[in-house]
Structure 1
């Protein structure tokens, strides 16, 4: 009975561990796309900055548009940085939970193995007792003859 319970608990922990692995993989994919978006924003901002350095003369409307574009790109870049930071923090939490689930699963598996060894040992002791009793019975029968 106890072995079944420990086996069930280790299976539950294995499923939880697999769920954490899936969460980690999803978080990694999300981080990959966020990083790509962030890099695209940085490239776009660099292009706008190059326009400022290459051209020295702008019309007022063009200058305002470029400044607005650069400012909005900076805002988007800050938002993307925050999303990346939050994503890395979430990934770290998921990694910790995954490690915890793995440790719990291993603990239940070791307890199950220990219980199985204990039951095997008890079964073996019982078998030896029965063999001893049988040997004594046979010896007693031979002594009566």
Structure 2
């Protein structure tokens, strides 16, 4: 009975571990997308900066538009940085949980193996006892003859 319970717990932990692996893959994919967006924002900001450095003369309206564009890009960059930071923190948490699930699964697997060995040992002892009793019974019957 205990072996079946430990086996069930092993299966549950294995499923939890697989779920954490999927979460990790999803988090990595999300981080990849966020990083790409962040790099695109940096490139866009560089282009705007190049416009400032290449041209020295702007109309007031063009200058205001460029400043607004640069400011909005900087805002989006900050948001993207925060999302990246949060994503990396989430990934670290997922990896910790994955490690914890793996340790728990291994623990239950070892407990199950120990219980199986213990049960096998008890069965072997019982078998030897039965063989001893059978040998004594045979000796007793031979001595009666």
Gaps of 5+ in 1: none
Who is 2:107 aligned against?
107
- Partners of 1:142 and 1:5 in 2: how far apart? 47
The normalised TM-score by structure 2 is: 0.99
**Offset of 1:102 from its aligned partner?**
0.5
- Partners of 1:106 and 1:43 in 2: how far apart? 47
CA deviation digits over 1:31-71, x for unaligned, max 9? Answer: 00000000000000000000000111111100010000000
Q: Number of paired residues?
A: 145
The normalised TM-score by structure 1 is: 0.99
- Partners of 1:5 and 1:127 in 2: how far apart? 25
CA deviation digits over 1:3-36, x for unaligned, max 9? Answer: 0100001101111111101100000000000000
Secondary structure of the structure 1 residue equivalent to 2:58: coil
Who is 1:60 aligned against?
60
Gaps of 5+ in 2: none
CA deviation digits over 1:108-132, x for unaligned, max 9? Answer: 1110111010000000000000001
